Amino acid sequence: MTDLVLLMSATLLGGMVFYSFGFAPVLFAQLPMERVRPLLRGTFPYYYLAVIGLSAVTAVAAWFVSPLAAGLFAAIALSTVYARQILMAQINAATDRGDKKAFGMLHGLSVVIQLIQIGLAGWAVVLVG
Protein backbone atom coordinates (compact mmCIF):
# COMPACT_ATOMS: atom_id res chain seq x y z
CA MET A 1 0.00 0.00 0.00
CA THR A 2 2.85 2.40 0.79
CA ASP A 3 4.24 2.08 -2.73
CA LEU A 4 0.85 2.83 -4.29
CA VAL A 5 0.34 5.88 -2.07
CA LEU A 6 3.85 7.07 -2.83
CA LEU A 7 3.23 6.71 -6.57
CA MET A 8 -0.08 8.60 -6.37
CA SER A 9 1.52 11.27 -4.19
CA ALA A 10 4.42 11.75 -6.57
CA THR A 11 2.04 11.87 -9.55
CA LEU A 12 -0.01 14.59 -7.87
CA LEU A 13 3.05 16.62 -6.89
CA GLY A 14 4.65 16.22 -10.32
CA GLY A 15 1.46 17.24 -12.10
CA MET A 16 1.02 20.31 -9.96
CA VAL A 17 4.63 21.39 -10.40
CA PHE A 18 4.57 20.74 -14.15
CA TYR A 19 1.34 22.68 -14.71
CA SER A 20 2.53 25.63 -12.63
CA PHE A 21 6.17 25.84 -13.68
CA GLY A 22 6.20 24.07 -17.05
CA PHE A 23 2.95 24.19 -19.01
CA ALA A 24 1.68 27.68 -18.14
CA PRO A 25 5.01 29.51 -18.49
CA VAL A 26 5.72 27.82 -21.82
CA LEU A 27 2.35 28.96 -23.14
CA PHE A 28 3.14 32.54 -22.18
CA ALA A 29 6.56 32.27 -23.83
CA GLN A 30 5.36 30.63 -27.05
CA LEU A 31 1.94 32.10 -27.82
CA PRO A 32 0.51 35.59 -28.12
CA MET A 33 -1.46 36.73 -25.06
CA GLU A 34 -4.78 36.67 -26.92
CA ARG A 35 -4.32 32.92 -27.44
CA VAL A 36 -2.83 32.10 -24.02
CA ARG A 37 -5.66 33.46 -21.90
CA PRO A 38 -8.50 31.43 -23.45
CA LEU A 39 -6.31 28.33 -23.54
CA LEU A 40 -5.43 28.57 -19.86
CA ARG A 41 -9.00 29.49 -18.98
CA GLY A 42 -10.14 26.36 -20.76
CA THR A 43 -7.60 24.05 -19.15
CA PHE A 44 -7.92 25.17 -15.53
CA PRO A 45 -11.26 23.44 -14.86
CA TYR A 46 -9.78 20.12 -16.00
CA TYR A 47 -6.57 20.67 -14.08
CA TYR A 48 -8.52 21.41 -10.94
CA LEU A 49 -10.70 18.30 -11.42
CA ALA A 50 -7.59 16.16 -11.79
CA VAL A 51 -6.09 17.63 -8.61
CA ILE A 52 -9.35 17.21 -6.69
CA GLY A 53 -9.78 13.61 -7.81
CA LEU A 54 -6.21 12.47 -7.33
CA SER A 55 -5.73 14.21 -4.00
CA ALA A 56 -9.03 12.84 -2.65
CA VAL A 57 -8.25 9.27 -3.70
CA THR A 58 -4.72 9.62 -2.37
CA ALA A 59 -6.08 10.96 0.94
CA VAL A 60 -8.19 7.83 1.38
CA ALA A 61 -5.34 5.48 0.48
CA ALA A 62 -2.83 7.43 2.58
CA TRP A 63 -4.96 7.05 5.70
CA PHE A 64 -3.60 3.51 6.04
CA VAL A 65 0.00 4.69 5.69
CA SER A 66 0.12 8.12 7.33
CA PRO A 67 -2.96 9.85 8.75
CA LEU A 68 -1.09 13.17 8.65
CA ALA A 69 -0.34 12.75 4.95
CA ALA A 70 -3.99 11.81 4.41
CA GLY A 71 -5.00 15.08 6.07
CA LEU A 72 -2.63 17.03 3.85
CA PHE A 73 -4.10 15.44 0.72
CA ALA A 74 -7.62 16.13 1.99
CA ALA A 75 -6.64 19.78 2.54
CA ILE A 76 -5.36 19.94 -1.04
CA ALA A 77 -8.61 18.46 -2.34
CA LEU A 78 -10.81 20.83 -0.34
CA SER A 79 -8.81 23.94 -1.16
CA THR A 80 -8.89 22.98 -4.83
CA VAL A 81 -12.68 22.69 -4.69
CA TYR A 82 -12.69 26.28 -3.41
CA ALA A 83 -10.24 27.38 -6.12
CA ARG A 84 -12.27 25.71 -8.87
CA GLN A 85 -15.80 26.51 -7.79
CA ILE A 86 -15.41 29.97 -6.28
CA LEU A 87 -12.06 31.59 -6.92
CA MET A 88 -11.82 30.68 -10.61
CA ALA A 89 -15.28 32.19 -11.24
CA GLN A 90 -14.24 35.39 -9.46
CA ILE A 91 -11.01 35.59 -11.46
CA ASN A 92 -12.87 35.06 -14.74
CA ALA A 93 -15.47 37.68 -13.82
CA ALA A 94 -12.76 40.22 -12.97
CA THR A 95 -11.07 39.51 -16.30
CA ASP A 96 -14.33 39.81 -18.23
CA ARG A 97 -15.15 43.21 -16.73
CA GLY A 98 -11.56 44.45 -17.18
CA ASP A 99 -10.98 44.93 -13.45
CA LYS A 100 -7.21 44.59 -13.34
CA LYS A 101 -6.94 45.37 -9.63
CA ALA A 102 -9.42 42.63 -8.65
CA PHE A 103 -7.83 40.24 -11.13
CA GLY A 104 -4.39 40.88 -9.66
CA MET A 105 -5.54 40.27 -6.10
CA LEU A 106 -7.58 37.17 -6.94
CA HIS A 107 -4.91 35.72 -9.20
CA GLY A 108 -2.32 36.39 -6.52
CA LEU A 109 -4.50 34.49 -4.03
CA SER A 110 -4.76 31.57 -6.46
CA VAL A 111 -0.97 31.52 -6.85
CA VAL A 112 -0.46 31.52 -3.06
CA ILE A 113 -2.97 28.68 -2.68
CA GLN A 114 -1.22 26.71 -5.42
CA LEU A 115 2.21 27.20 -3.85
CA ILE A 116 0.91 26.13 -0.45
CA GLN A 117 -0.68 23.07 -2.04
CA ILE A 118 2.59 22.15 -3.73
CA GLY A 119 4.34 22.50 -0.38
CA LEU A 120 1.72 20.31 1.30
CA ALA A 121 2.02 17.68 -1.43
CA GLY A 122 5.80 17.67 -1.08
CA TRP A 123 5.51 17.28 2.69
CA ALA A 124 3.06 14.42 2.22
CA VAL A 125 5.39 12.66 -0.22
CA VAL A 126 8.13 12.82 2.42
CA LEU A 127 5.79 11.46 5.08
CA VAL A 128 4.67 8.57 2.88
CA GLY A 129 8.16 7.79 1.61
Other CB atoms within a 10 A radius of the CB of residue 114 amount to 18
Q: Report the C-alpha gap between 8 and 129 in whole angstroms.
A: 11
What is the average pLDDT score of the chain?
A: 95
The amino acid sitting at 26 is V
Q: Report the C-alpha gap between 65 and 69 in whole angstroms.
A: 8
| 9 close to 128: Cβ distance less than 8 angstroms | yes
3-state secondary structure of 56: helix
pLDDT, one tens digit per residue, over 55-65 is 999 999 999 99
Q: Which of 71, 60, 62 is nearest to 2 (CA)?
A: 62
pLDDT of residue 45: 95
* Residues of the chain under the 50 pLDDT cut: none
CA-only gyration radius of the chain, Å: 16
pTM assigned to the model: 0.93
